A and B are shown apart, each in its own frame.
Chain A
Amino acid sequence: MSSAYPTSWKRPPQIIKDRRWRIAIQIGIVVYLVLAISTVDVNWARVYEGLERGQRFIMGFLQPDFTSRWRDISTGLVESLTMTLTSTVVGVAISVPIGIGAARNIAPHWIYAICRSIIAVSRALQEIIIAIFLVAMFGFGPFAGFLTLSFATIGFIAKLLADDIEEIEEAQAEAIRATGASWWQVVNYAVQPQVMPRLIGLSLYRLDINFRESAVIGIVGAGGIGATLNTAISRYEYDSAGAILLIIIAIVMVAEYSSSYLRKFLQ
């Protein structure tokens, strides 16, 4: 090899080209990490004490106890499952008109604005926060949970449905419109066939999410398996808690597997 060619090469920076900016950002990251980690005030004695409990929890997870609290677990589970199904059905039923209303290409302007703001409110609020309010209004129990999940479902399904409708092939809608069809007929013949498979898929996906969420909102009093879990943990019954967690994981796995199967079957 001749020595005329350079013998060193450095990979040029890909994202931030200016060297000073790069150094500034690197220093910024280090400073942030130091500050952030220093705010984490750990009580090591307490953590050490907790290790024994952690061990018990892991043992509980490995040797779960399904029997001694089975009555509570099964009540919680039934609440969770019924809550999940009813809230998904109601949520999707409400989402459909809102989703259609929030699609710019088929809804009048003022309806579009209203529907989009409903969606925005529903998406911005955490399920837990909604649950806190609904429990305060409707009292403890699965009914508040049902309302929470229905409300959260609206934000999810209506948004994705509206985005889907906005992306449908205008040519097909145009062709139907050209036959002199009314607005209802356009929705029925041009929009529905295009978005229906996606809507079913999304509903199944939401069913799965709603079950997972139903396990959480019980912590703030909205019923379901979450309430049972909360009780088990506060009583330090880690073997029952482990059993509940394993049931949740198993149901999520089954739901995920069967929904992917069902989606393939429906298409």
Chain B
Amino acid sequence: MLILDALSKTYKSGDTALSDVSLNVPKGQIMGLIGPSGAGKSTLIRCINRLVEPTGGKVLLNDVDLVGLGKRDLRQQRRRIGMIFQEYALVERLTVMENVLSGRLGYVPFWRSYLRRFPADDIARAYALLDRVGLMEHADKRADALSGGQRQRVGIARALAQDPELLLVDEPTASLDPKTSRQIMRLLIEICAERGLPAIVNIHDVPLAQQFMQRIVGLRAGRVVFDGPPDELTQDALTTIYGEEDWNAMRKGDEEQTAAEADARDRLAALVV
């Protein structure tokens, strides 16, 4: 179970990315995080494993507070948190197998990882995961030889190799076509269900979020403005998240703008249905 308590982040430039975010993610829950770009979604998930250093608040993962841990302890805790990235973030010039095994780096001493001599258990686990994501025969290929969907599967396998207690997923489908996006989302959901893993998924595609998430949190300007099941995400809720100013700006009386406004409303409505 993950508890965020009054989490805040202000960048050195003075921009406040997160202010006072408090959330509970129970075991097995898949939570979608939506919001306009710049709302702080990616800062939020990076504050959890401290790729971005939060400036205030607490992050409790199964009762361990991650904020304020020393370097070594932080590394130990990071092993418990698997992360999946927008553009896969695989090490392109390494083989698929090495990419999956890199999920074990926090568990093995440097010399083993340097010589690529991972323990037998780790290797068997890596093969099992590759089999699970359907890439068994690609183990020896270089990561840059794979297609986008395949790369994201490797990314999932790498995160799972950590044997995590939480998955952080940053825009997993942003660089994939609609069909592959759905396959990847389905795979993620299945895997989380199999392992009872909680997950936080940053996602900008609202229909996709509604289709797959159990719970949706809307973020706007670094604050939680919506928190509920997907079917409560009404048109009004979406306006709260994505902003009203744009709508108001269009309301200048001009006929063309009224038409544009209607169009925008229609599209939003289509999203909600």
Per the CB under 8 Å rule, do A and B touch in the complex? yes
Chain A positions within 8 Å of B, measured between CB atoms, are 1-3, 5-12, 14
Interface stretch, picked from B6-14, B51-59, B125-133, B219-227, is B125-133
Q: What are the residues of chain A within 8 A of B121 when measuring CB–CB?
A: 1, 7
Quick one: given A1-B125, A1-B128, A2-B128, are A8 and B120 in contact (CB under 8 Å)?
yes
Closest to B100 in A: A9
B116 interface contact, C-beta 8 A: yes
Contact in complex: B98, A7 (CB < 8 Å): no
Q: What are the residues of chain A within 8 A of B120 when measuring CB–CB?
A: 7-8
Q: What are the residues of chain A within 8 A of B270 when measuring CB–CB?
A: none
A-B contact count (CB 8 A): 38
Q: What are the residues of chain A within 8 A of B126 when measuring CB–CB?
A: 9
Contact in complex: A11, B123 (CB < 8 Å): no
Identify which of residues 58-108 in chain B touch chain A, using a CB-to-CB cut-off of 8 Å. 95, 97-98, 101
Q: How far is the CB of B93 from chain A (nearest CB, A)?
A: 9
Q: What are the residues of chain B within 8 A of A8 when measuring CB–CB?
A: 120, 123
Contact in complex: B95, A6 (CB < 8 Å): no
Chain B positions within 8 Å of A, measured between CB atoms, are 95, 97-98, 101, 116, 118, 120-121, 123-128, 131, 139-140, 142
* A interface: dominant SS: loop
Contact in complex: A12, B124 (CB < 8 Å): no
Contact in complex: B123, A7 (CB < 8 Å): yes
CA distance A12 to B95 in the complex (A): 8
Q: What are the residues of chain B within 8 A of A3 when measuring CB–CB?
A: 124
Q: How far is the CB of B125 from chain A (nearest CB, A)?
A: 5
Q: What are the residues of chain A within 8 A of B131 when measuring CB–CB?
A: 5
CA distance A14 to B95 in the complex (A): 10
Q: What are the residues of chain A within 8 A of B95 when measuring CB–CB?
A: 11-12
Q: How far is the CB of A62 from chain B (nearest CB, A)?
A: 37
Q: What are the residues of chain B within 8 A of A14 when measuring CB–CB?
A: 142
Q: What are the residues of chain A within 8 A of B97 when measuring CB–CB?
A: 9, 11
Closest to B94 in A: A11
Q: How far is the CB of B228 from chain A (nearest CB, A)?
A: 38
Q: A7-B121, A8-B120 are in contact. List 17 more A-B contacts (CB 8 A).
A: A1-B121, A1-B128, A2-B124, A3-B124, A6-B124, A6-B127, A7-B120, A7-B123, A9-B97, A9-B116, A9-B118, A9-B123, A9-B126, A9-B127, A10-B116, A12-B95, A12-B140
9 pairs of A and B residues whose beta carbons are closest in the complex: A7-B120, A5-B127, A5-B124, A12-B140, A1-B124, A7-B124, A9-B123, A1-B125, A11-B116
Q: How far is the CB of B180 from chain A (nearest CB, A)?
A: 26
Contact in complex: A9, B125 (CB < 8 Å): no
Can you name 14 A-B residue pairings with CB atoms under 8 Å? A1-B124, A1-B125, A1-B128, A6-B124, A7-B120, A7-B124, A9-B101, A9-B118, A9-B123, A9-B127, A11-B97, A11-B98, A12-B95, A12-B140
CA distance A2 to B95 in the complex (A): 23
Q: What are the residues of chain B within 8 A of A12 when measuring CB–CB?
A: 95, 140
Q: How far is the CB of A237 from chain B (nearest CB, A)?
A: 49
Quick one: given A11-B98, A12-B95, are A5 and B139 in contact (CB under 8 Å)?
no
Q: How far is the CB of B115 from chain A (nearest CB, A)?
A: 10
CA distance A222 to B266 in the complex (A): 81
Q: How far is the CB of B225 from chain A (nearest CB, A)?
A: 43
